[in-house]
Structure 1
Amino acid sequence: MTSWVEHAIWWQVYPLGFVDAEREALPPGTQPVHRLDRLVPWLDYLLELGCSGLALGPVFASGSHGYDTTDFFRIDPRLGDDADVDRLVDACRERGIRVLLDGVFNHVGRDFERFRAAEQGDADARRWFRWREDGSPDDFEGHDLLVALDHDEPAVRQHVGDVMRHWLSRGADGWRLDAAYQVPSSFWRAVLPSVRAEFPDAWFVGEVIHGDYAAIVDDSGLDSVTQYELWKAVWSAFNDRNLWELAHAVERHSEMMESFVPLTFLGNHDVTRLASTLEHPDHVGHAVAVLMTLGGIPSIYAGDEQAFTGVKEEREFGDDAVRPPFPDDPSGLAPFGEPVREVHQRLIGVRRRHDWLAHARTTVEHLDNTTIALRSTGSGGAVTLLLSVDDEPRRFPDALGGTVLAESGGGDDPLLLEPHGWRLLG
């Protein structure tokens, strides 16, 4: 893993929603609308929160939501143009902020130039895509507007490599690879070496929802994948008051850490907001404490740190609630989110001061249905996280004592947690 990633804490943004862009592509010939600049006033906020990287959702020309790409070399006119993205990257560089781009290389939109040529009978273009026996194009998970690429085709491999190199040369630091679980590992194994040869410090993380994460990383040559198992276990264990589920996920997570460093998260643009998922509002701090004390590369979905709510629905435009527009600058945020932002800032600060946690291994030192103690150890020492989802005060064993680094409440006894409390000990 390239060295800068060990210190990375991402603030993930879904640009089209953030800037309140139109749902559909602009008509051909329409002048770009320069909206990417609206992200610049948020960069200092990102740093004040404690993050060090901006993980951008799709910014390339597309038909609608950004994941139906029509041109990987052109910025979506709803967001602006090359000059806009250059200004954003430059503003990030001035502040020492890393930039991660979102590459949708499993499928494309139907207005992708090579697909239009394929539909018109171009034999070379047809080889770019997978076709069913009835002659119709294969698609992504039943979405007929998302045409599946043929990853065995050399021209597709060349195109994806060219796209990666182009934007890395323009200042990006790495790629989130959308729907990487649908792409053969052999494709990444074929494409990435030539990109790494030119950009050895670039970081590549694949979106993988389920499966053998470690094997996928090993087979594909990716640096990391998204840790959905941990994401699910965190909110599910707290809601069900079944911390055995969290313990099991933590043990599996530590096993993964022997092979690679996962991208960890509590929310993203594809799932219901954290504040809407957790049934008990006090458990937001618990979740953030887990994220910031386990090994991995943490990512905060923009707005989760402000207690934004939003439920993902399985319908057309069902993602809108979790991809809302943001104010022009942080001064426009509602005051109710400040306590949750403060908890995020405090725990991210602990993570920044203990950056060895990126490679930490975590063990379960105490466990019952409603209380758990997690000890994370690494080259810089150890921290112990005490969590309770009990309605009554609970005291932990004396052997777990230590100096208080952060907590949800006070008290003279560091091992005594108030109902639904948490405490981090050093």
Structure 2
Amino acid sequence: MNITDCKRVTKHNFNRMPKTIIYQLLPRLFGNRNRTNCINGTKADNGCGRLNDITSQALAAIKDLGVTHVWYTGVIEHATATNYSDYGIAPDPPHIVKGKAGSPYAIKDYYDICPDLAENIPLRITEFEELVERTRQAGLKTLIDLVPNHVARHYVSDARPDGVFDFGHHDNPNQAFAIYNNFYYLPQQPFVAPIPPANGDPQWQEYPAKMTGNDCISASPTLNDWYETVKLNYGVNLFDGRSAHFDPIPDTWHKMLHIMQYWAGKGIDGFRCDMVEMVPVSFWHWAITAIKKEFPDFLFVAEVYNPALYHDYIHTGGFDLLYDKVGMYDTLRNVITGFRPVSDISNAIEAIAPHRGHMLFFTENHDEQRIASSFFADNPRRGWPATFVSATLLPNAFMLYSGQELGEKGMDSEGFSGQDGRTTIFDYWCVDTLERWMNDGQFDGGRLTPKEQQLREQHRHLLQLVQQHEAFVSGEVYHLTWCNTTFRVFPWVRYTQDEVFLLLANFTNAKLQMTLNVPGDMFEKCGLKPHGFYHAEDLMGSGKQISFFADVALIKGFEVKMKPYGCMIFRLK
């Protein structure tokens, strides 16, 4: 028996808030059907996905995964090597653009949509608004990026509303730092790009040089710096020990809040906020408070990596969700690769206990290597236990990266993004598994292999199951690693007053027959009777069953059989 033999879960049957499950996709890649894939290819060579490619049918298929939110990555206009001057958009110097398509995090116009993504370029804002409405009609919510720390070196807004001035318009570039400046300056020093212009292109002129986006205080940033970006000034003097100057409120605060209000007014439901630790928490408190006053349910997701700052960004800044990269993600990656025991998963839970409901779990995103890449697990099956644990372990939000559910390897060498186990965000490219799942716009997986189809169904079945049961959405967790010393199998229990589920994840490529110990304390806390007979079949469709007399199991445990990389859920109550 396999997952496709199970009774299909096809609807969200609940009268409560679902578990937040975010699906990240890059429209540039998601809808691209051009399989040319010329290395360093232009848009004309390799094609480009568009907002209109994300149809109602596509969104219904995403919704069917159990997803609640779609994070559309790279929709705001950013610097690109593609010339759109015929549409009144100033061209960007290619030697300060990363890749032919450009980085989605080098924003060129905060008030506009990337022209790459438009079917009718003059109507690109309208096409975005239509996508937001399609998303809403599909029963999903829309997230987009907010990139507050830096802008493209060539920032020129042609779509800004009347009365709005560009960043730097009123700056005094003779002052390295000033509270009313939007940028930091390196007076009397010209900017020198780490890559010279090619093919007779003109040299980018920037005098005086501005500070580079990763706080690089040099007029000559290196290839390892964010040389295509410029740091924004939020009133922190980086030349004077990071002293804060927030009274009066810095001009950058007002400009960024207006940008946030602009997009919230377009009907989106939240921001995934880039590199929030590089922006003062005082700004976040001020801005998020203002947005939530007008849009109370607006979701703020923070890319944050320093656990010492979690409390401040949640309780002072006001963020709803924080990336849990250095905790759960890093732990699971090391468990997959055999460097850490499964008991460390329990330790990772304890480390985030004060912030538990605010952490966003994931096993892939655009910054991390694909599970199926040879840089990570080399096989989507090997990484499945980590995804299973991330989605079911706690009430936390969970994120799925487009293509992860298909076993996308991310092993192409696309151009600026070399073969590094990541799907490019800098190049025009067609992602093989996504294109075959899209199947000429049918979004039915018609050209996937049987193994790819089964993997997607496995994800769908799990996430739908999670949404079906209160125990997974908001229930408590009971750890069983303390009474089970196995190095490679992680057991735990999720429970509410009405439901109890036993879960096991096998991180080995071996069939296992093991004795699972269950303490009396578990029975008591989960409301299980410490006597009588228990029998359950795996809800994940492995065909495995468990049977035990409670009074015997309390003394001797009970037998469990597991498949390689098998993950099982048994309902005990």
Pairing partner for 2:75 from 35, 59, 69:
59
Call closer, same or farther: CA 1:360–1:146 in 2, change over 3 Å: farther
Structure 2 distance, partners of 1:280, 1:171, is 39
1:30 counterpart residue number: none
Q: How does 1:328-343 map to 2 (within 5 A)?
A: 328-329=440-441, 330-331=443-444, 333-335=447-449, 336-343=451-458
Q: CA deviation at 1:116?
A: 6.6
1:90 counterpart residue number: 133
Call closer, same or farther: CA 1:320–1:392 in 2, change over 3 Å: closer
Structure 2 distance, partners of 1:125, 1:61, is 27
2:503 counterpart residue number: 385
Structure 2 distance, partners of 1:355, 1:47, is 19
Call closer, same or farther: CA 1:356–1:192 in 2, change over 3 Å: farther
Q: How does 1:1-400 map to 2 (within 5 A)?
A: 6-20=18-32, 35-40=50-55, 41-63=57-79, 64-80=102-118, 81-113=124-156, 114=166, 117=169, 121=173, 127-132=181-186, 136-141=209-214, 142-152=225-235, 154-212=250-308, 213-228=310-325, 229-240=327-338, 242-257=341-356, 260-276=357-373, 277-279=376-378, 281-294=380-393, 295-311=395-411, 316-318=416-418, 321-323=422-424, 325=430, 326-327=434-435, 328-329=440-441, 330-331=443-444, 333-335=447-449, 336-355=451-470, 357-366=472-481, 367-378=485-496, 381-390=499-508, 391-397=510-516, 399=518
- Native 8 Å contact 2:406 2:452 kept in 1: yes
- Native 8 Å contact 1:137 1:148 kept in 2: yes
Q: SS at the partner of 2:142?
A: strand
Structure 1 distance, partners of 2:108, 2:416, is 20
Worse overlay, 404-413 or 138-147: 404-413
Q: Which has the higher contact order (CA 8 A, sep 6+)?
A: 2
Consecutive unaligned residues in structure 1, runs of 5 or more: 27-32
Q: CA deviation at 1:372?
A: 1.9
The CA deviation string for residues 116-154 of structure 1, in whole angstroms up to 9 with x for no partner, is 747995989970013357663222332121111111262
Worse overlay, 158-167 or 329-338: 329-338
- Native 8 Å contact 1:254 1:361 kept in 2: no
The CA deviation string for residues 354-375 of structure 1, in whole angstroms up to 9 with x for no partner, is 2453444434213431122122
Worse overlay, 271-280 or 14-23: 14-23
Consecutive unaligned residues in structure 2, runs of 5 or more: 1-14, 80-101, 119-123, 157-165, 190-207, 215-224, 236-248, 520-533, 548-559
2:570 counterpart residue number: 425
Q: Under a length normalisation based on structure 1, what TM-score does the superposition of the two structures give?
A: 0.86
Structure 1 distance, partners of 2:407, 2:543, is 23
Q: Which structure shows the higher helix fraction?
A: 1
Structure 2 distance, partners of 1:373, 1:235, is 18
Structure 2 distance, partners of 1:254, 1:377, is 17
CA RMSD in angstroms, aligned pairs only? 3.3
- Native 8 Å contact 2:479 2:493 kept in 1: yes
Call closer, same or farther: CA 1:378–1:24 in 2, change over 3 Å: farther
Identity within the alignment, %? 21
Q: How many residues align?
A: 416
- Native 8 Å contact 2:28 2:49 kept in 1: no
Q: SS at the partner of 1:299?
A: strand
- Native 8 Å contact 1:364 1:372 kept in 2: no
- Native 8 Å contact 1:394 1:417 kept in 2: yes
Q: Which runs of at least 4 in structure 1 moved beyond 6 Å after TM superposition? A: 21-26, 122-126
Rg larger in structure: 2
Call closer, same or farther: CA 1:185–1:132 in 2, change over 3 Å: farther
Q: CA deviation at 1:69?
A: 0.4
Q: SS at the partner of 2:336?
A: helix
Q: SS at the partner of 1:158?
A: helix
Q: Under a length normalisation based on structure 2, what TM-score does the superposition of the two structures give?
A: 0.66
Q: SS at the partner of 2:568?
A: strand
Q: SS at the partner of 1:222?
A: coil
Q: SS at the partner of 1:99?
A: strand
Paired AA for residue 59 in structure 2? L
Q: CA deviation at 1:194?
A: 1.1
Call closer, same or farther: CA 1:5–1:37 in 2, change over 3 Å: farther
The CA deviation string for residues 297-318 of structure 1, in whole angstroms up to 9 with x for no partner, is 11110100011111599x9424
Structure 2 distance, partners of 1:222, 1:291, is 21
Q: CA deviation at 1:24?
A: 10
Q: SS at the partner of 2:350?
A: helix
- Native 8 Å contact 1:110 1:116 kept in 2: no
Q: SS at the partner of 1:407?
A: coil
Worse overlay, 163-172 or 130-139: 130-139
Call closer, same or farther: CA 1:25–1:86 in 2, change over 3 Å: farther
Structure 2 distance, partners of 1:34, 1:413, is 47
